[in-house]
Amino acid sequence: MHISEEINKRKTFGIISHPDAGKTTLTEKLLLFGGAIQVAGAVKNNKIKRTATSDFMEIEKQRGISVATSVMTFEYGGKLINILDTPGHKDFAEDTYRTLTAVDSVILVIDAANGVEEQTEKLMEVCRMRDIPVLIFVNKLDREGKDAFDLLDELEEKLDIKVRPLAWPIGIGADFKGVYNIHKQELNLFDSNKTEIEKDIVKITDINDQQIDDILGSQGEVLRSDLELIEGVYDDFEPEEYEKAQIAPVFFGSALYNFGVQELLESFIELAPSPLSRPTNQGDIEPEREDFSGFIFKIHANLDPNHRNRLAFLRVCSGTFKRNTFYKHVRAGKNFKFSNPYTFMAQSKLVVEEAFPGDVVGLYDTGNFKIGDTLTDGKEFMFKGIPSFSPELFREVQNQDPMKTKQLEKGLLQLTEEGVAQLFIRQPGNVKILGTVGDLQFEVIQYRLKHEYGASCNFKGLPFHKATWITTDNQEQLNDFLRIKSRNIVQDKDDNWVFLAESPFLLDMARRDYPDLVFHTTSEFKVTAE
C-alpha cells in the first residue's frame, strides 16, 4: 500500500474536557464500538466501580481521575483510529497541552448540566492557538441539564467559535427520548435499560412523517420546531470551515449509556482530517515526505511496575517508521534502533513492524529521550511547539530517608522527564526544587516516589511566582545577574540558567535592570536556538 493510502486511512485525535464531564467514559464507549474492548468500565460519583480501561496508574484508579495521557488504537469503518485520552484535571494541563501537539483533531466533551467550565475554556484556547479542528459532544443528556439552544449560545460565546449542530436531542433528563441525526435523517431512540450498543434507529425520510408523532408523541412537534429554528439560525455546515478550525459541529448523547456515540464516531471518521504537517525549525514537514521523522511528546516511567520499564511515546510525522532500523536522535547526535516498538490498547501492547504518519508508537527508553526530542532518518531538524511552561508552584524536596538517596534522585529525574513536574537544582548544596502548575502533581510525585522507587520525601513551600529561562549574548551582564540574584538562581536538568522571580514586579525590574538578558516563560527557545 502506498504511503498516501496509509495516511488517508488514519485519524489521530485527542479527547479533552473539564474533569467529570465524562471524557474517559466516552473514550471507553468509542473503544466498545470499535470492538477493542468487550465491556466498558463505569465511572460514577468519582469512584471507579470497574476500573476504566484508559486509567492504568494506581493513583488514577484510587482517585477516579485521569492524570496521564493514555494512547489507544482500534479500527472502525476501514479507518485506523488513534485516540489520545488526556487528563481533565487542571493540575495536569501541561500534559494535555503537549498531547495536543501530537493530534490532528479534537473531541471536546461538555457536561449538559454544567456547560462550558473554566478548564474547557483553557483547553479550547490551546486548540485555537494551534488551529486544531474541534468536534463537540454534549454529554449526560440522560440527566437534567441546560436547554440545548442555551448550550449552543454558551459554546459560541465562551469558546469563541461558531458552532453547528449535526444532531439534536429530543428532551433532556427524565424526558430524554433520543437524538435526531440531522445529517443522516435518522432517529436514534434512547433506552436507559440498555448499556450495550444501541440498535433502535429509525430512518426518517421526511421530518413530517407520521412515524415521528407515533414514536415521540407531543415531542415530535417540538423536534420539528427546533429543526426549523436550527436551519434558520445556523449556517450550513461546511467541512472546509471545520478543517480550518472555524466552526465546530455539535453532537448530543449519553456516553454512560452508549448513546449518540455511534453518530459521533461515524461523523468523526467522515469529517476529521487525516494526519497533517508539523512545524520544525526548518519549515513544515508534510506527512507525504518519504523520509521518516517524528517527535517524542510523552514519556512514562514504570508503565509496568514489575519491570520498571520506561516508554517514550513517538508521534510519526512523515515517512515510514520501521522496526530494527537505525534512526537519528537529533539532539543527542546519535543513532538508535528499536527492536520492540509498540502500539497500544491502554495497558495492552502489540509489537509493530512499521508505522505511518499519524501513528503513535511506544519506544523502550533507557534514559536517552526527553519530551520534544526529534527522530529522523538522518536529517538535521527539530520539531517545534512542544514546550515546557513556566511552573506556578514551587516546592523544595526534603529527603526523609538518607539511605534511599539514590532511589529518590533516580525517581525525581525519571518523573520530571515524564513532564509531571520540572526539576531545578540550586547551588550550593545541590538543593532540588520541583515546579508544577498544580498541587495535585506534588501528591502524585510523592505517591509514585514511595510506591515505584521506595523513596520518601516531604515538600517545603517556596515563595516564587514564576520560573523564567535566561538567554543572552552579554556574558558580563549575565555573570553580574547570577551573582546578585544567587538566591533566586537555579539550573534545569539541561543546565540552562533559570531565574525564580518572587513577584511580577521583581521580574519586571530584572528585565529593566538587565536589558541584554532575555527571560523566557517557556522552554521553546531551546528549539528555535538550535
- Per residue in 156-168, pLDDT tens? 999 999 999 999 9
Co-location of 256 and 335 in the same domain: no
- 374: which DSSP letter? E
Per DSSP (E only), the strands in 256-371 are 278-280, 283-285, 293-301, 310-318, 321-322, 327-329, 334-336, 342-345, 348-351, 354-355, 360-364
Co-location of 179 and 39 in the same domain: yes
Quick check: 319 and 289 in contact, CB under 8 A?
A: yes
Co-location of 302 and 190 in the same domain: no
Judged against a pLDDT cut of 70, whether residue 346 lies above it is answered with no
pLDDT at site 37: 60
- Domain-terminating residue out of 342, 376, 410: 376
Residue 225, domain member (yes or no): yes
- Domain-terminating residue out of 324, 347, 376: 376
Judged against a pLDDT cut of 50, whether residue 516 lies above it is answered with yes
Q: What is the pLDDT of residues 184-226, one digit of tens each?
A: 777 777 776 655 554 556 666 677 777 787 788 888 888 889 9
pLDDT at site 147: 93
Q: What is the pLDDT of residues 16-57, one digit of tens each?
A: 888 888 888 888 888 887 765 655 443 333 333 334 444 445
pLDDT band of 355, cuts 50, 70, 90:
very high
Closest by Cα among 279, 281, 313 to 296: 313
Residue 189, domain member (yes or no): yes
Co-location of 237 and 283 in the same domain: no
* Region at 343 (left for phi over 0; alpha for psi -120 to 50; beta for the rest): beta
Closest by Cα among 202, 197, 164 to 185: 202
Co-location of 252 and 193 in the same domain: yes
Co-location of 295 and 261 in the same domain: no
**Average pLDDT of the segment spanning 294-308:** 71
CATH number at residue 290: 3.40.50.300
Co-location of 261 and 286 in the same domain: no
With pLDDT > 70 as the criterion, what percentage of the chain qualifies?
Answer: 84
pLDDT at site 174: 85
pLDDT at site 308: 55
pLDDT at site 63: 47
**Average pLDDT of the segment spanning 335-343:** 91
pLDDT at site 194: 54
Co-location of 412 and 283 in the same domain: no
Least confident of 344-348, 388-392, 403-407: 344-348
Residue 5, domain member (yes or no): no
pLDDT at site 42: 33
Question: Residue 520 forms beta bridges with which residues?
Answer: 469
C-alpha cell belonging to residue 523? 522552554
Q: What is the pLDDT of residues 420-434, one digit of tens each?
A: 788 999 998 899 999
Q: What is the pLDDT of residues 434-467, one digit of tens each?
A: 998 778 789 888 988 998 899 999 999 999 999 9
Cis? peptide before 19, omega within 30° of 0 = no
Using only C-alpha atoms, the chain has a radius of gyration, in whole angstroms, of: 25
Quick check: 71 and 296 in contact, CB under 8 A?
A: no
Co-location of 338 and 225 in the same domain: no
How many domains is the chain partitioned into structurally?
Answer: 3
Residue 336, domain member (yes or no): yes
- Structural domain of residue 345, as residue ranges? 278-376
Mean pLDDT value across the chain: 83
Residue 474, domain member (yes or no): yes
Within 13 Å and on the Cβ side, how many CA atoms surround 449?
30
Could you give the strand order of the β-sheet that contains 422-426, starting from the edge strand earlier in sequence? Answer: 457-461, 393-399, 431-436, 422-426, 489-492, 497-501, 466-471, 518-520
pLDDT band of 259, cuts 50, 70, 90:
confident
CATH number at residue 449: 3.30.70.3280
Q: Which residue type occupies 321? A: F
Question: Residue 187 forms beta bridges with which residues?
Answer: 180, 202
Residue 4, domain member (yes or no): no
Higher pLDDT, 338 or 215: 338
> pTM (2 decimals)?
0.77
pLDDT at site 94: 67
Co-location of 404 and 519 in the same domain: yes
φ, ψ of residue 401 in degrees (nearest 5): -145, 95
- Domain-terminating residue out of 271, 304, 331: 271
**Average pLDDT of the segment spanning 280-300:** 92
Least confident of 68-77, 153-162, 357-366, 416-425: 68-77
Judged against a pLDDT cut of 50, whether residue 130 lies above it is answered with yes
Residues 6+ apart with CB under 8 A from 496: 469, 470, 523, 526
Residue 61, domain member (yes or no): yes
pLDDT at site 498: 95
C-alpha cell belonging to residue 67? 492524570
CA distance 300 to 72: 15
CA distance 395 to 385: 27
CA distance 460 to 135: 42
Co-location of 106 and 190 in the same domain: yes
Co-location of 206 and 152 in the same domain: yes
Q: What is the pLDDT of residues 468-515, one digit of tens each?
A: 999 999 999 999 999 999 999 999 988 899 999 999 999 999 999 999
Residue 3, domain member (yes or no): no
